[in-house]
Amino acid sequence: MPHDSARRFAPADDTPDTPDALDTPGTPSAPSLDAMLADLEELVTCESFSDDHAAVARSGQVVAAQGRRLLGVSPQTLTLDGITHVQWTFGTPRILLLGHHDTVWPTGSLKTHPWSVEQGVVRGPGVFDMKAGLVQMFHALESLPSLDGLCVLVTGDEETGSATSRALIEDIARRCSATFVLEPSAPGGALKTGRKGVSLYDITVHGRAAHSGLEPEKGVNAATELAHQLLALGGVASTVNASTGPGTSVTPTTMRAGTANNTVPAQAELSVDVRVPDATAQDAVDRLIRSLHPRIPGARLQIDGGPNRPPLAPDASRDLFALATEEAVRLGLGPLRQAAVGGASDGNYTAGVGCPTLDGLGAVGDGAHADHEHVVAATMPDRARLLARLVGALR
């Protein structure tokens, strides 16, 4: 049923028979798994590839309608540079619940990765990262007697770096005392209490074109210069790891060069993905990459980009993870585990502005961005109950 701020509820019948659980009022009952799966199917079958802004807009409408039904309030729909974000604000925000509805799966992926629920395993594009987390969040909030003090933000560009939503995320987080991120869990359901920071660079080599058969010596081969830069980048991570400690990776990803088979390439382009364990390493990588210089006379380098997401340090999650552990025990869910991961999320932004942040509260499963992406269905109701208890404990 829709959320009603005047509605109260009794502890669930299946509350563990422990003194803590029995003495804690408002223990949320487990949502209906069938209802959660129906909502999840609705979200997954509305594809939302990040680069397909029309698809993201359609997905935003579905997210808004689902939240409206469960929370009883229409959201604010924000379109920033063509990308759709959905936001609910209840009173003066003190807690931010953060997620995204865009996915890495190109439109049409349902044909090769159809929605399915077989033997308790749910599959479909974006089901794990992170549409199941959105469903768990909505059902958790639907169980609460009041939503006062909450802000729910579901962005549409997380998978591409949150260029249009970052300022919005950071502005809300600065005014909150806690952020809960509904990204999928680490293996085995572990919460994410540490994330590496991300830096993204685009390196462009400017050379000079010439006929590759008649007068190649008059050209400046941008592709050859790019090869020199690839070798130079290989030493950046080693240098940083030796000086600041292990954990930094510098990975060339996409590159292209040249225009024709018989022409010396006048331009070459390379993208670089950097992951760092802390701000010191992020600054060190930035200095080294910006100090790259051309090796071939006449070539010129253009270096764009830089730090994208700051690291999410364990200190930002320590108190919230301790609270989550207590609430999990009271719910009879057993001890929680925590993990530090290399992937980044919008939780990096909230932690970066000083807001205590707990990530990985979403789905339990595996295969984010991969063919085997899936969610373990039976875990969804309990993850929703845990989130409801966390929100209730802080209000």
pLDDT along the chain (395 residues), means of 10: 35 34 51 96 98 98 98 97 98 98 98 98 98 98 97 97 97 98 97 97 98 96 98 96 96 96 98 96 98 98 96 96 96 93 95 97 97 98 97 93
User: CA 212 to CA 260: how far, in whole Å?
Assistant: 10
φ, ψ of residue 103 in degrees (nearest 5): -135, 170
User: CA 2 to CA 386: how far, in whole Å?
Assistant: 20
Terminal alpha carbon distance of the chain: 23
- Of the residues 41, 102, 159, 366, only one is catalytic, namely 102
| Per-residue model confidence (pLDDT) at position 28 | 62
Name the nearest CA neighbour of 43 among 61, 21, 18. 61
158 classed as catalytic: yes
The correct CATH number of 19-195+311-393 out of 3.40.630.10, 2.40.50.140, 3.40.1390.20, 3.40.190.150 is: 3.40.630.10
- State CA 344 to chain mean position distance: 6
| Per-residue model confidence (pLDDT) at position 334 | 81
Domains 19-195+311-393 and 197-309 share a fold: no
Collect all residues with Cβ–Cβ distance below 8 Å to 253 and sequence separation of at least 6: 271, 272, 273
Collect all residues with Cβ–Cβ distance below 8 Å to 131 and sequence separation of at least 6: 40, 43, 44, 101, 103
Q: Strands 191-195 and 338-341: what pairing? A: parallel
358 sits in which H/E element: strand 357-358
User: CA 373 to CA 369: how far, in whole Å?
Assistant: 7
- Of the residues 41, 158, 225, 346, only one is catalytic, namely 158
| Per-residue model confidence (pLDDT) at position 299 | 98
Q: Check: CATH 3.90.79.10 for 197-309?
A: no
102 classed as catalytic: yes
Domain spans of the chain?
A: 19-195+311-393, 197-309
Name the nearest CA neighbour of 231 among 296, 306, 305, 297. 296
99 and 129 in contact (C-beta within 8 Å)?
no
pTM, rounded to two decimals: 0.86
Beta bridge partners of 101: none
